[in-house]
Amino acid sequence: MWYLIPPVTRALIMTCGLVFLLQLMLGDVLVVWFALWPFGTEFAGPGMRTGFLPWQLITYSFLHGSLLHLLFNLLGLFMFGSDIERLFGRRRFLIYYFVSVVAAGITQLITSAMMGGPGYPTIGASGGVFGILLAFGLYFPRRTILLIFPPIPMPARVFVFVYAAIELYLGVTGTAQGIAHFAHLGGMLGGFLMIYYWRRRPPPRS
């Protein structure tokens, strides 16, 4: 089963898992340097002081706040990433994933600056996963997806629309604190813009 997963999706799953193990061993060190910190914030750790750094727009996506957080994102990568990687090819899929990650990060930075909220860092692969989810809904619109809770089957395109609407509602109302809802939407937006660009100027597959 493991070797049936395409190589880039498999590598992303393995990297996220290994980084989580490092987080358990090293504590807050990785969060200090590699989580996505809002502009103008600083974090004081043991002998360390840092805030936003450019590479965090990529590295935050490999960090996770809990085992459940990690497992949900890895499940999304496994369920949707495999089909999208087979469709796009390795190189194109990797570009698409990290464009979604960066777009999610930029969206979170802008939202945090506009709302003037507390300087909490953002971590998790959800921005990339939501970009992949959007691509799945666009390219496999009639594929049935069964929700975990509640267990309701629905076409992929309906699932993507409903999920995006829920994220927008939760983000605007602030109902579910501690979750970067606008980052999820930013990942979808980045993925949509990448697909739009490729449809106009499709890159070579590899």
Residue 126 annotated as catalytic? yes
- Compute φ and ψ for 122, nearest 5 degrees: -110, 135
C-alpha distances in Å from residue 10, one per residue of 19, 20, 25? 14, 16, 23
138-156 core/surface letters (b: 16 or more CB in 10 A; e: else):
eebeeeebeeeeeeeeeeb
Q: Percent helix, strand and coil across the chain, each rounded to 5?
A: 65, 5, 25
Catalytic one of 61, 82, 100, 184: 184
Clarify whether 61 is annotated catalytic. no
The catalytic position among 61, 100, 112, 126 is 126
Measured CA to CA, the distance from residue 2 to residue 48 in angstroms comes to 39
Catalytically active residues are 126, 184
